[in-house]
Amino acid sequence: MAIQWFPGHMNKARNEIKEIMPQMDVIIEVLDARIPYSSENPMISELRGDKPVIKILNKADLADPKLTTQWMSYLEQESGVKSLALDTNKANEVKRITDLCKKLVPLKVGNDKQIKAMIMGIPNVGKSTLINTLAGRIVAKTGNEPAVTKAQQRIKIDEGIMLYDTPGMLWPKVENENSGFRLAATGAIKDTAHDYEEVASYTAEYLLLAYPELLTKRYKIENLPENDWEFVEMAGKKRGCIRSGNQVDTHKMSEILINELRDGIIGRVTMETPVMRDEEEVMVAELRAKKEAQLEAKAQEKLARRSRARKNRR
């Protein structure tokens, strides 16, 4: 599923971020611990340069703890990157961010100095809740839907840190089809931007392979099918999602599956692994190269047609 979703306020935010980035001392990027790869905005790497980055694996209480540990080690292989796994409902854990900021920028600590930290992240990743906890007061609007924050703001917090908040920002086009499905499944993209049944089909296929025991326990299906759509129908029957003609209401069951995934009712699930990231990065690069070659071939053919047309007119 290719996603193209770049509202005007996000484009404006990107330009503002680019303008003030040179003034920042440290970047705090908030990721969804269930999809650390898909929720990582490639534009941030492009804009930050060599500035230190703290990658927060937020909503860690919803993610697979073993995979969260793997992801933290994987992310820290990149120069200048430190990672933290957080459950934002635990304020004492969130305060670890300020300590890490001071460690990364020691020259800006004390003597009335101030660390400038920009906090960034895709929509609905829990960034505003995190900011409110850091500030110890309500300074950022929160909501259980993407794109709540619309404008940049500065928030003075304890420990001599000025926090620069930015709107949740998606990149212009999600090239990786798998990432598009994962972003939709976890709620980073508005529900009106995707088809519930397609997303549920993708999600069921992954869960059947990675977390069959969680599906068995939650939906009371002892002999799980191999096919994702068979699972949706079986689970729909178990849940009484039946419409006229004794047909399974697959749309209703799809909504149930996605909402129970988002709320952690199915269990602690991580939708991707570091190995998957490496494989998909190769796939995306190959697809990009193929598209570029096709565009170049079309451009050359167009030039050739024009050349032939000019010769025929002589």
Those residues whose C-beta lies under 8 Å from the C-beta of residue 269, and which sit 6 or more positions away, are: 34, 62, 63, 64, 207, 210, 211, 214, 261
127 marked among binding-site residues: yes
Answer yes or no: are the C-beta atoms of 187 and 4 closer than 8 Å: no
Answer yes or no: are the C-beta atoms of 204 and 231 closer than 8 Å: yes
Q: Which amino acid is at 250?
A: T
61 marked among binding-site residues: yes
125 marked among binding-site residues: yes
58 marked among binding-site residues: yes
59 marked among binding-site residues: yes
Q: Which two tokens stand for residue 88?
A: 């934002």
160 marked among binding-site residues: no
267 marked among binding-site residues: no
Alpha carbons 230 and 61: distance in angstroms, whole number: 30
Alpha carbons 160 and 101: distance in angstroms, whole number: 10
Answer yes or no: are the C-beta atoms of 276 and 37 closer than 8 Å: yes
Phi, psi of 137, deg, nearest 5: -160, 165
95 marked among binding-site residues: no
The strand pair at 81-85 and 53-58 is best described as parallel
CA dihedral 5, 207, 145, 133 (to 10 degrees): -120
Answer yes or no: are the C-beta atoms of 183 and 38 closer than 8 Å: yes
148 marked among binding-site residues: no
88 marked among binding-site residues: no
Q: Is 293 helix (H, G, I), strand (E, B) or coil?
A: helix
Please, what's the b/e burial string for 136-162 (b: 16 or more CB within 10 A of its CB; e: otherwise)? eeebbeeeeebbbbeebeebebeebbe
158 marked among binding-site residues: no
Phi, psi of 298, deg, nearest 5: -65, -40
Question: What residue numbers does the annotated binding site for GTP cover?
Answer: 58-61, 124-129, 168
Question: What residue numbers does the annotated binding site cover?
Answer: 58-61, 124-129, 168
